[in-house]
Chains A and B, each alone.
Chain A
Amino acid sequence: MTLRRPRPTSVALVALALPSALVLTACGSDDTTATDTGAATVTVETAQGPVEVPREPETVITYDIGVLDTIDTLGGEVAGVPEFAMPDYLSAYSDAPVVGSLFEPDFEAVAEIDPDLIIVTGRSLEAMPDLEEIAPTIDLSTDEADYLGSVERNVRSLATIIGEEDAAEDALADLQADVEETRAAGSEAGTGLIVMTSAGEVSAYGAGSRFGLVHDVLGVEPAVDIDSATHGEPVSFEFVAEADPDWLFVVDRDVAIGETSGESAEQVLDNDLVARTTAWSQDQVVQLDPMAWYIVSGGLTATATMVSDVADGLAS
C-alpha cells in the first residue's frame, strides 16, 4: 500500500495548481469581475459569509446536484452540471453541458461556457480558488450541524440570485410544515439508527452527521451516541444488533451512485444479527431514498423527499 500510484486526481490538481498559483501572484489584487458590474449585483449569504454576486446571471454552473435541484425547483436554469446520472425529476439536465465531476471541474468545459456564476459545495470546495479565477464562485455547502437552517439559507440565496424569492418562501413554508408534522411523529417513534450500506459493508451515522436530519430535525431519538463523522463509523452487524433500535433508517449508497452490482442494502442487512433488532422484527426498517439523502441532499425538492421518507416510513 505504501507504493500506491498517485491517483489521477492528485496529478491533475498539481498540474492545475501550478499555473493558477502563478496567475494569482500575477494579479496581486482582488479585483474580480463581480465588483465591476456594480448595480447589477446582490449580496447573498453563503457558507463563507455574505458575498456579492451578479443578480440574475445568465449562465450559472454548479457542481452540486442539490443546488441544481433547488434552482430547478424554483424555476431557474443551469447552464452546466456535473457528470452524473440525474434523478428522474432532473432528467431534463441529462443532456446539459458537463463541467466536470461532482468533485473536480473540467476547466476547459467551464471556459467554454464562460459562466457568470459558479456554485460549489463540500464535494467541490477544493476547486473553489481555481474556479474563482474564471468567474465569481460561491460556496453553498450545507452545514451538517444545522442542516435545515443551512438549506433554508441556501434556498433563499439562490432565490435572490435568480429572482424567485416568492416561490422560495412558499416552498420553505411547505417544508417547514412537513417538518413540524414529521417531528411530532418522530419524537414519539422510539429510538432510531441510521446506517449506510456500501459494497456490503455497514457504517452508522448519528446526530450531527450528514444524515443527522433524522435525529436533529425530525426528533427521532438516537439508539446510540455516534460521533458525527462525514463518512460514518464502520461498524459490525453486532453493533447494529447491540444498538437494538426501534427503527432502522437505511441508505443504500451503491444505489445512490448508480452501482447496483453488489448486494442491495436489504440483502446486506438480512442476517441473523440484524434480525435480532426490534426494528427488523417489527418490520420497522425505513429505506431512505439514496439519491435524495446521499447525492442531492441540500436541494429543496430532495430535502422535502428526505422529510417525507421519514414521515412515510414512520407512518407505515
Chain B
Amino acid sequence: MTATTPSPPPAPSPAVRRARRGRWGAAAPLLLGASVVAALALLSLFVGVSDVSPAALLRGDSDAWELVAVSRGPRTTALVLAGVSLSIAGLIMQVLVRNRFVDPSTAGTVDSATLGLVVVMLYAPGLPLIAKAGVASVFALAGTGVFLALLSRMPLRSPVMVPLVGLMFGGVVGAASSFVAYRFDLVQSLLAWTTADFSGILRGRYELLWVAGVLAVVAWVVADRFTIAGLGAEVATGLGVDHRRVLMTGLVVVALVSAVVVTTAGVIPFLGLVVPNVVRLFLGDHVRRSIPWVALVGAGFVLVCDVLGRTLRHPYEIPLGVVVGVVGSVVFLVLLLKGSSRVG
C-alpha cells in the first residue's frame, strides 16, 4: 500500500534495486520472456476444433494454411493485441493517477465505453464498427475525464479512496447502461457484448485492434514522460514536462484502447490491474523499464487464459472474459496478500 505514494525518482525503490542486482537486470530475460510468449502464441495457433498440426503446415496442406490465415492467426493476433494494449493502458493509468489499484475497469473508463456502445445500439445501430468504436472512445474519454475531475475535487488522503471513487463512478455509469438495457430488454445482449469472447474472431473482424496496438507503441515511445507526469503536476512542470498535455495523451491512449477492445471483443476484467502490478512487484515504478514486461506478461496471460477457455470444454468455448475474470481475481488476491508484506 505504501508504494502507492510516489517515491522520489532518483532513489530507486527496493524492488528496483533488487531487480538490478538480480535476475531481471539485463536484456537476456526480456528475450527469454519474449520467446515464452512466442511459444504461447504458437501453441494458441494449434489449439482449436479443426485439426491444424505443425506437420500439416510443414507439408503445405492448403486447408490447414487457410485455417491459420482465416481463423487461428487472426485470433492469436487479436489476443496479443488486446493483452498488450490493455495491460499498457492499465500501467499508464496507474502511473498518471498515482494509484496502483486503478485501471480502465476500476476507473469508469470501460463502463463509459460500454455506455457509449449501448447508446449506439439504440440510436444508430447500423454504424460501422470503427464508428461504434469512435463513439465508445468519446464516451470513455469523457468518463475518464469526469473521474479525474472527481478526484481533483476530493481531498484524497488514502490511496484506497482513488479506486473506491473510480469503482463508485463506474458503478453509476454501469447502472445507467444496465437501466437502459433493462428498459429495452437488452440485458442479455449487454452481457454478450461486454463479456470478452474471441470465439467469433476471424479475418476481417479484429483489425480494429491494430489501432490499440499502435497506441500501445505510442505509449511506449513517450513512456518517460508518463513517469515524470506520474510525479505530480508540480514536479513534472519543474522538470520541464507539460503535465496537462502528457496527462491528456495518456487519457486518450487509455480511452481509445479500452473502447477499441470493448467494441471488438468485450470487457476483459482485471487485466490492466493485475499485469502492471505483477510487473511492478519485480521492477518498481520505472515506466520505460516495465513497459516491455507489461506487454509480454499481458500477452502471455491472455493467451494462456484463451487456450484454457478453448480446451476446458472442448469443442465448446468458455469466453475469455470469464476465464480472465476467474484467474485474474485469484492472482489479484494473491497479489494483495503477498504484495502488502513484500512491498509494504
Q: Chain A: residues with CB nearer than 8 A to chain B?
A: 1-5, 7-9, 83-84, 101-102, 198-202, 204, 233-239, 241-242, 254, 257-262, 268, 271-273
Contacts and interface: CB of A to CB of B under 8 A. Distances in A.
Interface residues of B, number: 48
B316 A238 contact: no
Given A198-B189, A199-B193, A202-B200, A7 B178 contact: yes
A237 B189 contact: no
A260 B186 CA distance: 12
A8 B175 CA distance: 9
Name, among A83, A234, A242, the residue most crowded by chain B CB atoms within 10 Å (CB to CB): A234
Given A201-B200, A236-B200, 18 more contacts: A1-B267, A1-B269, A3-B167, A7-B182, A8-B178, A102-B185, A199-B189, A201-B199, A202-B199, A204-B316, A237-B199, A239-B316, A259-B121, A259-B184, A268-B200, A272-B66, A272-B71, A273-B71
A235 B269 CA distance: 21
B84 to A, nearest CB: 21
A99 to B, nearest CB: 15
A110 B316 CA distance: 42
B232 interface: no
Contacts of A234: 197, 199, 316-319
Contacts of A198: 188-189, 192
Contact of B315 (A239, A262, A268): A239
Nearest to A101: B185
Nearest to A7: B178
A241 B317 CA distance: 15
B18 interface: no
B199 A235 contact: yes
B29 interface: no
A175 B239 CA distance: 82
Given A2-B329, A199-B189, A254-B189, A242 B315 contact: yes
Contacts of B6: none
Contacts of B54: none
A74 B50 CA distance: 49
Contacts of A271: 70, 202, 204
Contacts of B182: 7-9
B178 A261 contact: no
Contact of A199 (B50, B66, B122, B192): B192
A272 B201 CA distance: 12
B176 to A, nearest CB: 11
Contacts of A238: 48-50, 67, 71
Q: Which of B49, B67, B179 has the most CB of A within 10 A?
A: B49
B231 to A, nearest CB: 29
Contacts of A7: 178, 182, 187
Nearest to A258: B185
Contacts of B50: 238, 241-242
Contacts of B125: 259-262
- The 10 closest A-B CB pairs, nearest first, are A261-B125, A233-B316, A1-B269, A199-B192, A238-B49, A236-B199, A261-B121, A272-B70, A1-B325, A5-B171
Given A238-B48, A238-B50, A271-B202, A1 B270 contact: yes
